[in-house]
């Protein structure tokens, strides 16, 4: 079982025969939220994005006027 050029003495070998694997183990499933919960949690972020988009538009207009 060892590679041909492996110089160390192998003491143990573990051989597993798996029939199935459960990728959906509950221990590792990320909690899910309803659409309403996500909307509530992200409301401040959405407002901040809106404010930044407005500021960006205003600054672009100022730059365009200076370029005239």
Indicate yes or no: pTM above 0.95.
Answer: no
23 domain-assigned: no
- CA distances in angstroms from 63 to 15, 19, 40, 49, 53, listed in the order given: 68, 65, 36, 21, 15
13 domain-assigned: no
15 domain-assigned: no
22 domain-assigned: no
Residue-wise pLDDT for 14-52, tens only, equals 988 988 877 777 777 777 888 899 999 999 999 999 999
pLDDT tops 90 at residue 54: yes
Distance CA 52, CA 46 (A): 10
55 domain-assigned: yes
Distance CA 65, CA 56 (A): 14
pLDDT value, residue 2: 81
1 domain-assigned: no
pLDDT value, residue 58: 97
Residue 60's domain spans which residues? 34-66
28 domain-assigned: no
pLDDT tops 80 at residue 8: yes
The residue among 62 and 20 whose pLDDT is bigger is 62
Q: How many domains does the chain have?
A: 1
């Amino acid at each position: 079982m060892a590679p041909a050029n492996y110089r160390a003495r192998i003491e143990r070998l573990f051989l597993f025969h798996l029939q199935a694997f459960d990728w959906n183990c509950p221990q590792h499933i990320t909690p899910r939220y309803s659409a309403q919960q996500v909307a509530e949690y992200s409301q401040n972020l959405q407002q901040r994005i809106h404010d930044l988009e407005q500021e960006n538009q205003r600054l672009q207009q100022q730059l365009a006027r200076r370029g005239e």
